[in-house]
Chain A
Amino acid sequence: MSDSPEARLAALGLALPPVAAPLAAYVPAVRSGSWVYTAGQLPLADGKLLMTGKVGAQVSAAEAAALARTCALNALAAVAAAAGGLSAVTRIVKLVGFVASDPAFTGQPEVINGASELLLEVFGEAGRHARSAVGTAVLPFDAPVEVELIAEVRD
């Protein structure tokens, strides 16, 4: 892929948002050697949660996938801030997605695909990652989805 990740993002009509301020005693991302670990990212835009509720009850799977994509974008903003830009990312290593789920809902993978697909679109082959997509009872502030990333970065 010849374009920079920033250019790919712009081509998708997206821009990195400001890094979300931590909601408690932690930092948005930590660099340790060649890796950046992000904190869990909520579907926030302009500091507001885009939706609240449980997927499979108040939130549809398709809506939740769109929210997961926003979470991934916020995670990329945290990675970029810690690594000195998205171009420093050599590959996405792992993504963990949490889905606040109605007990009967089992479509967590398709929800978290919303996040994974953004990473593939932005980084191409280097965006292919290991992943966990986990159903959970409730997330902070009743957010439907939360996503965290581990990225490998250039020295």
Chain B
Amino acid sequence: MSSAARPGIRLPDRLADRARDVLEGRTPPVAPRDAATVMLLRPVPGASGTDASLQVYMLRRRPSMAFAPGAFVFPGGSLDARDAEIEVGWAGPDALEWGRRIDAPADLARALVCAAVRETFEECGVLLAGPTADTVVADARGEDWEADRAALLERSVSLAGLLRRRGLVLRSDLLRPWSRWVTPVTEERRYDTRFFAAALPVGQRARDVSGEADNAAWIEPADALAAARGREIFLLPPTAVTLGELGACGHLSAALTARRRITALIPEVFVADGAVWLTVPAGLDYPL
């Protein structure tokens, strides 16, 4: 079959055992949870002009986490019930249009955009919202913002509620749909994740504030891939593919104007030569 012609990534033993259990019918597969992740982008500091190369903000997941411990990832996370609130100040394409863009029903699309903005604020203190449809919060640092962020994290407030109280609108137009990855069917924790790209708003700073991370950095995609090849950092396959795509864009404006077709990408799992292998979907370049 087609997978035999594509390079495989050999699964480590722990994941391979679980994969065999699912493939051989001993463990039923689980349904994926909806999730959103955001690649925050900025030009390399000090560079000028539109062809400055870009950096992306990445976090290292704490080694104690259940899903992808120790992996370098983009900020993001699962949808929660608060993301479905309809009464949210909104700028940019409406839910129906977002649904068309990210291959989702309108209600789910709105919730995914909310989750993307919420997670970006929770995990790096960057807020993609503004007082009007064409302005953005200039600086989301300080004690009052930190209190809001803590309230979001402990789920005592929704993003919609926070924006309402501060008189802000969610700037959905600052997000660009990038891709959709679904965790392989064999895994214990599965996510159906929409990837978005966004430029870091002028004036705002990304901060390592997430309790889920023990390291955070702005990094050029090619440098992250080189570090992964040198086994200095660990990247999940979708992260590696996405870094390759961002690197190929070269600079910020190219990444933000890239035309992306969003379909579900699911790494394929198969058994060969006594091992369990994973391949990225055909047509994608696996840069590691």
What residues of chain A lie closer than 8 Å to B268, measured between beta carbons? Answer: 58-60, 63
Contact in complex: A51, B2 (CB < 8 Å): no
- The closest CB in chain A to the CB of B34 belongs to A48
Nearest neighbor of A107 in chain B, beta-carbon distance: B1
Fill in one digit per residue for A45-69: 1 if any B CB lies within 8 Å of its CB, else 0.
1111011110011111111011101
- With a CB–CB cut-off of 8 A, which chain B residues contact A66? 22-23, 25, 29, 185-186
Partner of B282, one of A57, A61, A70, A114: A57
Q: Is A58 touching B281 in the complex (CB atoms < 8 A)?
A: yes
Q: Contact between A60 and B270 (Cβ–Cβ < 8 Å)? A: yes
What chain A residues lie within 8 Å of B186 (beta carbons)? 63, 66
- Measured CB to CB, the closest approach of chain B to A46, in angstroms, equals 4
What residues on A are CB-neighbors of B26 within 8 Å?
Answer: 12-13
Cβ of B15 < 8 Å from any Cβ of A? Answer: no
Candidates B27, B192, B266, B269; contact of A62 at CB < 8 Å: B269
Instruction: State in angstroms the CA–CA spacing of A104 and B1 once bound together.
Output: 8
Q: How far is the CA of A57 from the CA of B63 in the complex (A)?
A: 34
Q: How far is the CB of A72 from chain B (nearest CB, A)?
A: 10
Interface status of B288 (Cβ within 8 A of chain A): no
Chain A proximity of B80: nearest CB distance (Å) = 16
Q: Are B29 and A61 in contact (CB under 8 A)?
A: no
Tell me which residues from 118 to 136 in chain A have a Cβ below 8 Å from any Cβ of chain B: 118
Cβ of A14 < 8 Å from any Cβ of B?
yes
B25-53 near A? 1/0 per residue, CB < 8 Å: 11111111000000000000000000000
Q: State whether B29 touches A114 (Cβ < 8 A).
A: no
Residue in A closest to B184 when the chains form the complex, CB atoms: A63
Contact of B27 among A13, A56, A65 (CB under 8 A): A13
Distance from A5 Cβ to chain B, minimum over Cβ atoms (Å): 16
For the complex, give the distance between the alpha carbons of A74 and B185 in Å. Answer: 17
Q: A52-B266, A58-B268, A63-B270 are in contact. Are A45 and B2 (CB under 8 A)?
A: no
A138 CB to nearest B CB, Å:
14
Known: A45-B29, A62-B23. A67 touches B281 (CB 8 A): no
Chain A 6-40: CB-based contact to B (< 8 A → 1; otherwise 0): 00000011100000000000000000000000000
CA distance A71 to B187 in the complex (A): 18
Minimum CB distance partner of B27 in chain A = A13
Residue of A with least CB distance to B29? A50
Q: Name the one of A44, A56, A67, A104 contacting B185, with C-beta atoms under 8 angstroms.
A: A67
Closest residue of B by beta carbon distance from A43: B29
In the bound complex, how far is the Cα of B32 from the Cα of A10, in angstroms?
23
Tell which of A14, A47, A53 touches B28, judged by Cβ atoms closer than 8 Å. A14
Instruction: Please tell me if B248 contacts chain A, counting CB pairs below 8 Å.
Output: no
B182 interfacial by beta-carbon distance below 8 Å: yes
Q: Are A50 and B27 in contact, CB atoms less than 8 angstroms apart?
A: no
List of A residues within 8 angstroms of B236 by Cβ: none
**Are the C-beta atoms of B29 and A105 separated by less than 8 Å?**
no
Q: A51-B185, A56-B1 are in contact. Are A63 and B269 (CB under 8 A)?
A: yes
- Chain B residues contacting A142 (CB-CB under 8 Å) are 264
What separation, in Å, do the CA atoms of A44 and B32 have in the docked complex? 10
- Out of A14, A47, A60, name the residue touching B1 (CB < 8 Å): A60
When distances are taken between beta carbons in the complex, the residues of chain B under 8 Å from A118 are 25
Q: In the assembled complex, how far is the CB of residue A115 from the closest CB belonging to chain B, in whole angstroms?
A: 10
List, in ascending order, chain A residues with CB within 8 A of B271's CB. 62
Chain B residues 178-208 with CB under 8 Å of chain A are: 182, 184-186, 192
Q: Which residues of A contact B2 (CB under 8 A)?
A: 56-57, 102, 104
Instruction: State the 8 A-B residue pairs at the shortest beta-carbon distance, nearest first.
Output: A48-B31, A60-B270, A45-B31, A46-B31, A62-B23, A60-B268, A50-B29, A51-B185
- 9 residue pairs of the A-B complex, CB under 8 angstroms, read A12-B26, A50-B185, A58-B281, A62-B23, A62-B270, A63-B23, A63-B185, A63-B269, A102-B1
Residues of B within 8 A of A (CB): 1-3, 22-23, 25-32, 182, 184-186, 192, 264, 266, 268-271, 281-282
| Known interface pairs A48-B31, A66-B23, A104-B2; 14 further A-B residue pairs with C-beta atoms within 8 A, sorted by A's residue number | A12-B26, A46-B30, A48-B192, A51-B266, A52-B266, A58-B266, A58-B281, A61-B1, A65-B23, A66-B185, A102-B2, A107-B1, A118-B25, A142-B264
